[in-house]
Amino acid sequence: DIPVLEMISVQRRRYLPAGFLSHAAGYVGEVSEQQIEASNGRLRPGDFAGKFGLEQQYNDVLQGTDGKRRVVVNSVGKEMKDMPLSAQEAIPGKQIQLSIDYDLQLVAEQSLGARPGAVVALDPRNGEVLAMVSHPAADPNDFAVRISADEWKRLNEDPEKPLLDRAIQAQLAPGSVFKIVTATAMLEDHVPSESFKTVCPGYASFFGRQYHCWVYYAKTGRKSHGVTDLHEAILKSCDVFFYTVGLRLGIDRLAYYASHFGIGHKTGIDLPSEEPGLMPSPGWVQRVLHRKWYQGEVISVATGQGAVTTTPVQLARMIGGIASGGVFMQPHMLKDASNVGVDRFPISEPTVEKITDAMYGVVNEPGGTGGQLRLAGIELSGKSGTAQVIGYDTLARIHKEKKFEDNAWFVGYAPRRNPEIVVSVLVQESGKHGGEAAGPVVRDIIKAYYDKKNKKEGQYTAETNVPAPRTKPVSTVVTVPRAPRVVLKRPEATSEETARPVSERER
């Protein structure tokens, strides 16, 4: 009992280590003047509030209210315990339960590894986010009290952009994943007809210019796809086929379908700062670039290149919605959320069957770009995408600098129709095609999902036909029948003494 010594209790937020779920969880920080002014007296200088991610999105739910206690003190500031005046009880914040599946999140984090990119796993039936990863990531524990100006500057100037939530903010060309939009538009509009075929010699000439198919640059020795119909074009990702279909359809019809599938629009996920991506159109070109639209631009857009950009969460929602017959659920991270939005765009049953059969073939038929991802007993389906950052000829001239290497995409789901899980994976600057770089991450997550489901139901565990290039098998990670759910909970609010704060309110 030292008269001149006062103990002050300070709470701080603790997050899972090693950046686990860091972008989605977000972080807290000291309130700004703007936040104080907007709080109607609830916040004061030195208080902490959510600044990013779920911490910011659900700040009003997680943050409680401090209590107050008026006391009488003696000449040295010591409380006279036998003379209490009044007290106001603290109100603790509420907790929220997330839809994140801890074990799937762990698999996603480990499978992506240190590579820059993102993972989004959704349940397309209800929009629940089962896993979400963005790498590289900062450790939110560094923000738990105060971060130095030097560290904040370092994070913002880091060329790897660790503060960017790639799952909802990385707006990049989707590459051949976009061919599913082009294929759906072709079947629904009957332009060209379903029986349409092309001859792919590895290139095609339009408007006096030669456009190459990806196979022309492949290291497999084969330089062409030959005669190709729609099923084979999706299976083998033939650019020449989709160049031709895109020209026949025109940009207006492509933009019509892409927009209804969510490209160019935010998904509405319950995270702040989501980006909308972009679906170019003649109107956009005139409004933003102040020039006319050139007909040849649709050739690039039809294969997911050019000005079209998407985010990983958009592609997960889009592919899951198409495979579900045109039902596009709003993604959300809050478990059992109410008022979940849904967009319905009618797609004919024959079109859904043809598209989903082709995506099943990508993984399960000879020649598919995802053949190495096959899982026994699981109808893993999907579409690969390899998006150029710059042209291949230019890339060769500058000796393949890493920052200009191709971005790899793979969006996979299971089962073939009416899927239970859809996974979108982006690996930036991988220099590899989507099935090779991003596909194994999709496979690992979907295998883990079915391993757990089958264990719960007392069924077999699926085996991969081709071993995944991982140091640890996924099965060593998945050890429980049902994963725990992640919960964010605010510590109980504390009291304060008259005339001086003795604690900092934090979440």
Q: What is the pLDDT of residue 19?
A: 80
pLDDT beyond 90 at 304 = yes
Overall average pLDDT of the 398-427 stretch: 87
pLDDT beyond 60 at 303 = yes
pLDDT category at 467 given cuts 50, 70, 90 is very low
R_g of the chain, CA atoms, integer Å: 26
pLDDT digits (tens, 9 = 90+) for 89-100: 888 888 999 999
Which residue numbers are catalytic? Answer: 176
Instruction: For domain 9-94+490-504, say whether CATH 3.30.160 is its number.
Output: no
What is the longest distance spanned by two Cα atoms in the chain?
A: 95
pLDDT digits (tens, 9 = 90+) for 328-383: 999 999 998 888 999 999 999 999 999 999 999 999 999 999 999 999 999 999 99
Which of 38-42, 264-268, 399-403, 493-497 is predicted least confidently? 493-497
Distance, in Å, from the CA atom of 259 to the CA atom of 91, rounded to the nearest integer, reads 45
Burial 115-149 (b: 16+ CB within 10 A, else e): bbbbbbbbbbeebbbbbbbbbbbbbbbbbbbebee
pLDDT beyond 50 at 235 = yes
Q: Which two tokens stand for residue 362?
A: 């990508």
160 HSE (CA, 13 A, CB side):
12
pLDDT beyond 60 at 70 = yes
| pLDDT > 70 fraction of the chain, expressed in percent and rounded | 85
pLDDT beyond 90 at 7 = no
Mean pLDDT for all residues in the chain: 86
pLDDT digits (tens, 9 = 90+) for 488-507: 544 444 433 333 333 333 33
Q: What is the pLDDT of residue 498?
A: 32
pLDDT digits (tens, 9 = 90+) for 418-437: 999 999 999 999 889 999 99
Overall average pLDDT of the 36-48 stretch: 83
pLDDT beyond 70 at 66 = yes
Q: What is the pLDDT of residue 111?
A: 97
CATH 3.40.710.10 residue window(s) in the chain? 101-152+164-476
Q: Mind giving me the DSSP string for 346-372? A: ---HHHHHHHHHHHHHHHHSTT-TTGG
Pick the CATH number of 101-152+164-476 from 3.40.710.10, 3.40.50.150, 3.90.1150.10, 2.40.160.20: 3.40.710.10
The four Cα atoms 228, 229, 233, 236 give a dihedral, to 10 degrees, of -60
Distance, in Å, from the CA atom of 310 to the CA atom of 327, rounded to the nearest integer, reads 19
CATH 3.90.1310 residue window(s) in the chain? 9-94+490-504
pLDDT digits (tens, 9 = 90+) for 213-224: 999 887 767 789
Q: What is the pLDDT of residue 311?
A: 98
Q: What is the pLDDT of residue 174?
A: 98
Between 220 and 280, whose confidence is greater? 280
201 HSE (CA, 13 A, CB side):
3
Where in 261-390 does DSSP place strands (E)? 327-329, 342-344, 381-387
pTM equals: 0.85
